[in-house]
Amino acid sequence: MGERPSSHLRVREQDDIAIVEFADRKILEELSIQEIGEELDQLVEAGSAKLLLNFRNVDHLSSAALGMLITLNKKVKEKHGVLKLSDINRQIFEVFKITRLDRVFDIHESADHALASF
Amino acid sequence: MRSRPSDSADIGVSHHPPSGFGVRPQELTRLVAPNTLRAAKEPEERILTALRNNGFRDEIIFGVKLALEEALTNAVKHGNRGDASKHITVSYAVTPERAVIMVADEGPGFAPDCVPDPTLDENLERPCGRGLMLMRAYMTRVEYSETGNCVWMLRENR
């Protein structure tokens, strides 16, 4: 499947894994977080059980974005799917560590590492 | 010393930084913005520019930006409950040594000590409640006014 048009996400599929990149550098604005959450929900609802979120374009985030990721993670688990994160820059990884969310999410250094671990 | 402003628009807004913050009230720049996240961008941009102009490292600016955005979001969404007829007040002073920032809303305030610790195992998967802890993690000091609708933050540049 080719790249699907989307306002906030770039999604491509490799084998049965949906690889998601963020089009915005800031997953921050309340409205865009809500929309990103909805788009990701749709992916899960449409049957993408294996999801990789690539953070390489992201250089800032907020607690609301973390909340959206937690809600997504729960939804993926309910569907017996797997959510992995990759390419999180040092400063943003620090946010995950401070909030101890590095224990909640399966975080990989690179997309290749993450893909190999599904 | 606590200020008791008589102007009704100032109710609940403290003009005096907590002791030890290292700035005097007359050194603060004060901005009032409509209660929207978009309008809150202007004071944010001004403060971030002041940090760059005063030689703060990118790493510190990242943390101040994060903490400031959490404070602004809390004020707009929780304090003023998204009410577009209300306002937020932002006061700040930036020197090469420190940044002092105050964010106030017109809401009833809250008790910061009653916010559950989001890093406890039983709370880790709750989607909310991380803003305040991020503010505390990235700033040198974070203090709420007694009324709870006004937060003062200090970040030392070191």
- CB of A90 less than 8 A from some CB of B: no
Q: Which residue on chain B is closest to A67 by alpha carbon?
A: B127
Convert the pLDDT of each residue in A40-61 to its tens digit.
999 999 988 999 999 998 988 8
CATH number of the domain at A44, please.
3.30.750.24
- CB of A110 less than 8 A from some CB of B: no
pLDDT at position B27 is 96
Cα of B108 to nearest chain A Cα, Å: 22
Picking from B94, B93, B97, B87, the residue whose alpha carbon sits closest to that of residue B39 is: B87
pLDDT at position A34 is 87
Residue ranges of domains in chain B:
26-156
For residues A83-110, give the mean pLDDT: 97
Q: How confident is the model at residue B7 (pLDDT cuts 50, 70, 90)?
A: very low
- CB of A78 less than 8 A from some CB of B: no
Residue A2 lies in a domain: no
Instruction: Say yes or no for a CB contact (<8 Å) between B127 and A70.
Output: yes
Size of interface A-B (CB pairs under 8 A): 51
H-type alpha helices, chain B: 41-53, 58-73, 131-138
- Interface confidence, given as ipTM, is 0.88
- CB of A115 less than 8 A from some CB of B: no
Beta bridge partners of A107: A85
For residues B106-119, give the mean pLDDT: 91
Of B118, B125, B134, the CB nearest to A95: B134
Q: Residue A26 sits in which domain range?
A: 9-116
Could you give the CA distance from residue B28 to residue B93 in angstroms, rounded to a whole number? 5
Picking from B25, A14, A33, the residue whose alpha carbon sits closest to that of residue A22 is: A33
Picking from A73, A84, A74, A79, the residue whose alpha carbon sits closest to that of residue A111 is: A84
User: What residues of chain A lie within 8 A of the CB of B126, using their CB?
Assistant: 70
Residue A53 lies in a domain: yes
Q: What is the DSSP letter of B38?
A: T
Residue A49 lies in a domain: yes
Residue A1 lies in a domain: no
Please give the C-alpha separations between residue B148 and each of A93, B20, B31, B136, in angstroms, as whole numbers: 30, 19, 19, 15
For residues A25-51, give the mean pLDDT: 84
Provide the pairing of β-strand B87-94 with B98-104: antiparallel
| Residue indicated by tokens 């000091």 | B141
pLDDT at position A7 is 72
Is B6 a residue whose pLDDT tops 90? no
Q: Which residues lie closer than 8 Å to B82 by C-beta, 6 or more apart?
A: B35, B76
- CB of A60 less than 8 A from some CB of B: yes
CB atoms within 10 A of CB A42: 12
Picking from A15, A6, A112, A116, the residue whose alpha carbon sits closest to that of residue A54 is: A112
Fold of B26-156: Heat Shock Protein 90 (3.30.565)
Convert the pLDDT of each residue in B23-66 to its tens digit.
999 999 999 999 999 899 999 999 999 999 999 999 999 999 99
Q: Which residue on chain A is closest to B73 by alpha carbon?
A: A30
The tally of domains found in chain A comes to 1
Q: Which residue on chain B is closest to A92 by alpha carbon?
A: B62
In percent, the amount of chain A with pLDDT more than 90 equals: 73
Residue A4 lies in a domain: no
The CB-side HSE value for B36 (13 A sphere, CA atoms) comes to 7
Chain A interface disruption, residue of B45, B69, B77, B126, most A CBs within 10 A = B69
Of A28, A60, A104, the CB nearest to B125: A104
User: What residues of chain A lie within 8 A of the CB of B35, using their CB?
Assistant: none
Is A14 a residue whose pLDDT tops 80? yes
Residue A86 lies in a domain: yes
Q: Are the C-beta atoms of B149 and B105 separated by less than 8 Å?
A: yes
Residue A63 lies in a domain: yes
